[in-house]
Chains A and B, each alone.
Chain A
Amino acid sequence: GAGVSQSPSNKVTEKGKDVELRCDPISGHTALYWYRQSLGQGLEFLIYFQGNSAPDKSGLPSDRFSAERTGGSVSTLTIQRTQQEDSAVYLCASSLRNFQGGGKTQYFGPGTRLLVL
């Protein structure tokens, strides 16, 4: 079946503008995760959804970052008033229902490369 898809694949924006990044998980995966990967860094966890609710949003770096998920499927990560330090690759992953077992395999999308000028 289809894997995790993300759009756009690349986004260039000007400082101060808002951006929306989209993630479409694998069908049947109720858990969805957003990560940020900056140059030379590992993966930084941002937020986790189980269904439409976000039990863990501890990784969102500031109140400029928000995310929502509707219909238990597609998720949108929104960054308001973008700053140059927001430039990074934003990765989305999905997994089967996560009972906080830590053992659910996450499957990743190709990422959105965001450049803030």
Chain B
Amino acid sequence: AQSVTQPDIHITVSEGASLELRCNYSYGATPYLFWYVQSPGQGLQLLLKYFSGDTLVQGIKGFEAEFKRSQSSFNLRKPSVHWSDAAEYFCAVGFSGYSTLTFGKGTMLLVSP
């Protein structure tokens, strides 16, 4: 069965510093990859997605992610974090033949002044 791993439960980053959130998936097929962000008390907002083509994808709020097939990874990056980026981030993976997405357990981002 497919699975998604976000190895970091919490990450603290200083405001203005760069950010990388890790996501790994396990399954043999070509994945469809998503990153969502959830602010406290809110639903999930789509940041970016990868279906095919260029493995470096740009999203909203200055985020980007890179798909590396050899590493089964889809890490999320941002060059300079803002205090408003503090939230929980979820990686999700979909596969052909499966009707829904599999989500990681999330990474909580804390931004220090």
Contact = CB atoms under 8 A, between A and B. Distances in A.
Interface of A: 4, 6, 33, 35, 40-43, 45, 48, 50, 55-56, 91, 93, 98, 100-111
A56 B100 contact: yes
B43 A108 contact: yes
Contacts of B101: 45, 102, 106
Contacts of B94: 101-104
B43 A111 contact: yes
Contacts of B36: 108
Interface of B: 31-32, 34, 36, 41-46, 49, 51, 90, 92, 94-106
A91 B38 CA distance: 12
Contact of A33 (B41, B90, B98, B100): B100
A55 B100 CA distance: 11
A97 to B, nearest CB: 11
B42 A110 contact: yes
A111 B42 CA distance: 7
Contacts of A109: 43
A6 to B, nearest CB: 8
A-B residue pairs, 7 tightest by C-beta: A102-B94, A42-B105, A108-B43, A103-B32, A108-B44, A43-B103, A110-B43
Given A45-B100, A100-B96, 5 more contacts: A42-B106, A100-B98, A101-B96, A103-B94, A104-B94
B97 A102 contact: yes
Nearest to A113: B41
A93 B92 CA distance: 14
Nearest to B6: A42
A111 B41 CA distance: 8
Contacts of A107: 46
B43 A102 contact: no
